[in-house]
Structures are given as structure tokens and as C-alpha cells.
Structure 1
Amino acid sequence: MKTIALIIALVVTSIFGYSQEQTETFSVTVKVANPLNDNGHVLIGLHTADTFMKGKGILNAKSKVTDGQVSVTFENVAPGNYAIMVLHDENDNDRMDFEANGMPKESYGMSNNPMLYGPPTFADAQFELTESKEIVIRF
């Protein structure tokens, strides 16, 4: 009898422990409002403060511009603070190209669409994910 009670207690404890480990996840849909042309691809990255401006994001997508529009959805994203970075990689070399003076040759944008005169910071682009969102990026 004690063995059956112990087994039931362990099963119930395991179920409650497992249910608390699962957190609700959300989707983030990114739309690019105004690509200049249909050349190349648009690279989209979902970033945390640790990955922002340091390479690839925690989730990444590559999409063709179709009829002047781009839309990508990141699924199963845990709640938290994130930023979106977008690059229109017109020559398909998977990186941003720069002029001799250091200015970008290709269009780019980020969440919150900040107007900057220098390198962006995570604080400029961050948003809190507490529900599924649609974010529109303008170049």
C-alpha cells in the first residue's frame, strides 16, 4: 500500500513539475514595408541584448522580395526583450556592404524604426514580447 501511494505521489509531483517548466510561447511576424527593389534577399534576425550587432540572432530568416513585400514569422518565441534587425542583401553575399567612408551601401532597418546618426543600440530597437506581435520595419 505504501508503495502504491509513493508511486502516485511521484507521478503527481512529476506532472506538476513538468507543467511549470513549459512557458507560453508567441510568434513574431516581421513585415518589411518598403524594399527598394526585388534584388537579392532580405535577412531578418531576432536578437537579444547578447547577440545584437554581434552577428546572427537567436532566430534568423532569409526571404526573397516578392511584389515589393517581405513577411517572415518566427514561431515559438519565449517571452522576453528582443530586437529585430533587417538587411536587404541585394548582392546575396550574406553581409552588409559599406562605402569607403563607412556608410552602408544596402538598406537596413530595425524594430521601432529609430532614426539614428550612428550605430544602433539594443535600447533603440528593443521591444517586450508578452503576446504575439506583428512588427513593420521601414528602410
Structure 2
Amino acid sequence: MRRSQQPAWKRHRAGACRIALAPLALCLLSAAAPWEGTLVIHVGNVRSAAGRVHADLCPERTFLKDGCGRSVEAPAVPGTTIVTIAGVPPGRYAVQLSHDENGNGRVDRGLFGIPKEGVGFSNDAPIRFGPPKFADAAIDVRPGSQTIDVRMRYFSGPSGPPAPR
């Protein structure tokens, strides 16, 4: 029997059930969505107020690539600059940082590709004859807010902020 041939009371009851179940389905779907996290990065050893501190939050597949993931910037503050990345789905990421002192939007490099501006990685991952491995820089972002400390490293010029007098 086709729907149009059903008695009116049956058609009405089926429609009412669908309408009543729709809010329940929405509640169940929204409850299953993962909570997002906020990552607060305290970038230490920033040597000057020139330019901006740029941070990328990267999943493994795009680590060390330009525009690897979520990017944020903050004005550079000598000593410690705080950068916040909000709305991060829980997961495993690495943070890569740069101090763009001249404001050209990239890390300037010198002889043999050595950075002229500051760079840093989560977990203060070691930089030995090249960039670190993802495993050394990886952090787990959880729901809620968490804070990490990263030290900016400079390979040319002053290695950090001027000493207090």
C-alpha cells in the first residue's frame, strides 16, 4: 500500500514520530562531537620587539611545510611572547615557530640554509644538522586549555634578549 493510500491517521502518526525524533538525533550527534582545545604557547628568549612571532600547529603529514596547519601570529615582545591557538581538535601535533623580525612573511636564511631569524619547536626539539623530527616535537592537544613553553633559537646575531642592567 502506498503512503497516499494509507489512512490519514497513519500518515499523521508517522510524521509526528519523525518530528519528535529529530531533536533527539541532533542532541546525540552534537554530544558525539569532540571538544576543542586551546593551546597557549609561551615563546621564551625572543631577542627583540621587531616584527612578529609566527606559530604553526602541524599534524605529522604537513610538519615543516609552509602553511602546514593552523597559523597564528603575535607582536614580538622581548623575553617572552605569548601566542594562543584556539579551536584545536584533539590530536597529536607539533608546533613550529619563527621570529619574523623584518616582517617579510618568511624565515630568512643565510649560508647553507641556516636561519638568520629565530626558530623554535615544541618540546624544544633538538636542531642538529637540520630541522627536528616530528616525533621529537610532537605534543598531544587535549580538550580544554593547556600551556607549553618553547625557547626561540637564533643562529646569527644576538642569541636572545639583552641582559637586564
Q: TM-score range by the shorter chain?
A: 0.7 to 0.9
Q: Supply the distance in 2 between the matched residues of 1:7 and 1:100 (Cα, whole angstroms).
A: 68
2:116 paired residue number: 105
TM-score by length of 2: 0.75
Deviations 1:91-127 (A, max 9, x none): 1111111112221111100100022212222111111
1:39 paired residue number: 50
Bigger-Rg structure (1/2): 2
Q: 1:15 aligns with which of 8, 23, 27?
A: 27
Q: Is the counterpart of residue 88 in structure 1 residue 99 in structure 2?
A: yes
Give how far 1:46 is off: 0.9
Matches within 5 A, 1:48-67: 48-67=59-78
Q: Is the counterpart of residue 5 in structure 1 residue 9 in structure 2?
A: no
Q: Which runs of 5+ in 2 are unaligned?
A: 1-11, 153-165
Tell me the C-alpha RMSD between the 2 structures: 1.8
More helix by share: 2
2:137 paired residue number: 125
Give how far 1:67 is off: 4.7
- The number of residue pairs the alignment matches comes to 138
Instruction: Kindly report structure 1 stretches of 4+ aligned residues shifted beyond 3 Å.
Output: none
Q: Which runs of 5+ in 1 are unaligned?
A: none
Q: Supply the distance in 1 between the matched residues of 2:126 and 2:25 (Cα, whole angstroms).
A: 52
Q: Supply the distance in 2 between the matched residues of 1:29 and 1:90 (Cα, whole angstroms).
A: 21
Q: 2:86 aligns with which of 47, 67, 75?
A: 75
